C-alpha cells in the first residue's frame, strides 16, 4: 500500500464509536477533522494525548475542528476510556484493522527486541473537502493540540 501524503484524498471509512453508533468519515465532509491514531486505550501516552485534546477541545472546536480518535480497541474499551477521562469527542473502534491499514499506520514495531504489529501514533488533519492537509508522525502526546496548531500555521 502506498504511503499517504499531504494533498492526498483521505481514505473513507465506516465503523462504530464508543456508543455503538455508526461513524463515517464522509459524514464530516464540509468540516475540518483531526483524525488521530493511537496505540491503546488507558496507556500513559495515549491517555496524555486524549486528555490534551480534551483540555483544548473547545478551542479546537471554535477553530472548526472535529476530533476523531482511532485505535483497534473495541467499543467497550473506548467507552471505559471516554468515561474515565470525560473525553468529549468520538473514539472510533477499528477492531478489524481496516482503517489503520488504509492510513498506513499499522506497522511492525520493536520493543525490547520483540517484534509485533501495532499502531504508529499519527495525526492526520483533513480539510473540508476530504483532503489530507497535514500529517504529524512524531506526535508530542502531552502537547498534541499545540503541535497541531503549529503545523497548520506553517
Q: Could you give the residue numbers annotated as active site?
A: 46
Q: How many alpha carbons lie under 13 Å from residue 143 in its C-beta half-sphere?
A: 7
Please name which of 62, 65, 61, 59 lies closest in space to residue 30, comparing C-alpha atoms: 65
- As separate numbers, helices (DSSP H) first and strands (DSSP E) second, the chain gives 5, 9
Residues in a beta bridge with 67: 34
Q: Which three cell numbers stand for residue 34?
A: 483531526
Distance CA 104, CA 5 (A): 11
Amino acid at each position: 500500500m502506498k504511503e499517504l501524503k499531504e494533498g492526498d484524498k483521505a481514505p473513507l471509512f465506516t465503523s462504530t464509536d464508543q456508543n455503538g453508533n455508526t461513524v463515517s468519515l464522509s459524514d464530516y465532509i464540509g468540516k475540518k477533522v483531526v483524525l488521530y491514531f493511537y496505540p491503546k486505550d488507558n496507556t500513559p501516552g495515549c491517555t496524555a494525548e486524549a486528555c490534551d485534546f480534551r483540555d483544548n477541545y473547545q478551542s479546537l472546536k471554535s477553530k472548526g475542528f472535529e476530533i476523531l480518535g482511532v485505535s483497534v480497541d473495541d467499543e467497550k474499551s473506548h467507552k471505559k476510556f471516554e468515561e474515565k477521562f470525560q473525553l468529549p469527542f468520538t473514539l472510533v473502534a477499528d477492531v478489524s484493522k481496516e482503517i489503520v491499514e488504509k492510513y498506513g499506520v499499522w506497522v511492525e514495531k520493536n520493543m525490547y527486541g520483540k517484534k509485533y504489529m501495532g499502531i504508529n501514533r499519527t495525526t492526520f488533519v483533513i480539510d473540508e473537502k476530504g483532503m489530507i492537509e497535514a500529517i504529524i508522525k512524531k506526535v508530542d502526546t502531552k502537547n498534541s493540540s499545540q503541535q497541531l496548531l503549529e503545523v497548520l500555521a506553517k
